[in-house]
Amino acid sequence: MNLGPESETVEHKKSTSELKKGLISVSAILNKHGHGTLYFGVENNGTVIGQEIGADTARDISRGMYELIEPSPYYSVEVLDDGGKEYIKVSFEGDNVPYSADGRYYLRMSDEDRKMTRDTLINLVMSVSDGSGWERMSTEHTNEDADEELLITYFKMGQDSGRINERYDRDSFLSKTGLSVNGYLTNAGHLLLSKRRPVRLNLALFAGDDKVTFLDRRNFDGNILECIKEAEMFILKNIRWKAEFSGFRRVDVPEIPVGAIREIVINSFAHARYRNISTEHAIDITPGSIEIYNPGRLLPKIVPEDYLRGDKRSEPTNPTIAEFMLRCNLIEKYGTGFRKTITLCNENDVFYDYYNGEQGFTFEFLRDPLYVNDNTSILKGSELEVYELMKKDDKITAESIGSRIGRDPRTVFRHIDGLKEKGLVRREGNVRTGRWVVSPVAYRLNRVPKNKRKEN
pLDDT tens digits, 126-141: 656 555 577 888 888 9
The confidence score (pLDDT) of residue 61 equals: 94
Per-domain boundaries in the chain: 10-127, 199-370, 375-438
Nearest to residue 179, comparing CAs of 214, 229, 241, 132?
A: 132
The pTM of the full predicted model, rounded to 2 decimals, is 0.61
CATH class for the region spanning 375-438 = mainly alpha
pLDDT at 334 over 70: no
| pLDDT mean over 224-239 | 95
pLDDT at 260 over 70: yes
The confidence score (pLDDT) of residue 446 equals: 38
The confidence score (pLDDT) of residue 393 equals: 86
pLDDT at 113 over 70: yes
| pLDDT mean over 6-10 | 91
pLDDT at 42 over 70: yes
pLDDT at 370 over 70: no
Question: What is 199-370's CATH number?
Answer: 3.30.565.60
| pLDDT mean over 215-236 | 95
CATH for 10-127, options being 2.60.40.10, 3.40.1190.10, 3.40.50.10490, 3.30.950.30: 3.30.950.30
pLDDT at 236 over 90: yes
pLDDT at 348 over 80: yes
- Return the minimum-mean-pLDDT range out of 82-96, 123-137, 251-265, 365-379: 365-379
